[in-house]
Amino acid sequence: MKNIMTIKTPNTQKTTDTESLLAENSAVDVETHPFEPVLPPNATVMMMGTFPPTADKWAMSFHYPNFYNDMWRIYGRVFFDDADHFRIGDEKRFDPERIRDFMFERGIASCPTVKQAIRETGNASDKNLTVVTPVDLDIILPQVPKVETLFTTGGKATEVLLGLLDEPIAKSKHPKTNQSMDYPYQWQKGNQTDIVNDLTLYRLPSTSRAYPLSLDKKVAAYKAFFKRMGKL
């Protein structure tokens, strides 16, 4: 079993390094994230997770597609006091169009931190996910120019984002659950390197049921965050 590995590809060598890594891993299954980011132009916060489960676990073709992941129940309770707000009747699935419309209305973006990855154990566990290609924030951030806060949905997503910074940060300095830190990401604009000013990174609890925290406490954490962000 391989250890967890996140590969940060420098902006200037992105294509070359990714192609090299893919060649090295030609014998294994490198997957590409199946869902496009949700990028409302009025978004002020952006949710950033890692990788969805295998397609056989999907209840819809949208972010957090597993019916037994509590993300959309948490959103339902936080914003509408109803865990089933985004559920389709009594079916074991949520309504992706209703979720997307809500995110555009409230100015909440969603973009995975991982574009390509290898599942070392064939499941959605972040613990055994090898990141081949991380998100390219140089492409994403200009599409959501009002975003001031990135919020991750677990430790692995936090690790991936911090791995994109030019100055490495010791793991002991990474924010713990419900903590935040400045995020001085530098992005390329032609031959010029610009700093995205005043970005903040929050780490929120994972919404997976494997994460050992009660649903009520997860709801409380997300509610406190969105209230602080002026979304409630």
Q: Provide the number of structural domains found in the chain.
A: 1
| H helical segments located in the chain | 14-24, 71-80, 96-106, 137-140, 155-162, 215-228
If we measure between CA atoms, which residue out of 115, 145, 144 comes closest to residue 131?
115
pLDDT confidence of residue 11: 46
Q: What is the mean pLDDT of residues 14-31?
A: 57
Whether 9 is covered by a domain: the verdict is no
Determine which of 10-19, 112-121, 146-155, 219-228 has the lowest per-residue pLDDT on average. Answer: 10-19
In a domain, 67, yes or no: yes
pLDDT at 195 over 70: no
Taking Cα atoms as reference points, which of 206, 228, 197, 224 lies closest to residue 47? 206
Alpha carbon distance 88, 84 (integer Å): 8
Domain of residue 58, CATH code: 3.40.470.10
118 membership: H or E segment, kind and range: strand 114-119
According to DSSP, the β-strands at 5-6 and 129-134 are parallel
Residue 28: phi and psi, rounded to 5, are -115, 170
Q: How far is CA 44 from the centre of its chain?
A: 15
Q: How far is C-alpha 16 from the geometric centre of its chain's CA atoms?
A: 25
β-sheet bridge partners, residue 6: 131
The structure tokens listed for 133 are 């290609």
What's residue 19's pLDDT? 54
- Position 168 scores a pLDDT of 80
Average pLDDT of the segment spanning 116-142: 85
Q: Is residue 3 part of a domain?
A: no
pLDDT at 4 over 80: no
Q: Which two tokens stand for residue 111?
A: 């973009």
Question: Residue 48, by phi and psi: left (phi above 0), alpha (psi -120 to 50) or beta?
Answer: beta
Q: Is residue 42 part of a domain?
A: yes
Overall residue count recorded for the chain in this entry: 232
Give pLDDT, residue 202: 98
% of residues, the chain, pLDDT over 90? 72
The residue that leads in pLDDT, 103 or 185, is 103
**Residue 130 forms part of a structural domain:** no
Domain that holds residue 223: 36-113+135-228
Calpha distance 225→232 (Å, rounded): 9
Residue 17 lies in a domain: no
Residue 98 is assigned to a structural domain of this protein: yes
Domain-embedded: residue 69: yes
- Using pLDDT thresholds of 50, 70 and 90, give the confidence band for residue 6: very low
- CB atoms closer than 10 angstroms to residue 17: 15
Is residue 85 very low, low, confident or very high in pLDDT (cuts 50, 70, 90)? Answer: very high
* Tens of pLDDT, residues 198-212: 799 999 999 999 999
Give dist(CA 137, CA 131) in Å, integer: 15
Q: DSSP letter string over 35-67?
A: S--B--TT-SEEEE------GGG-SSSSSS--T
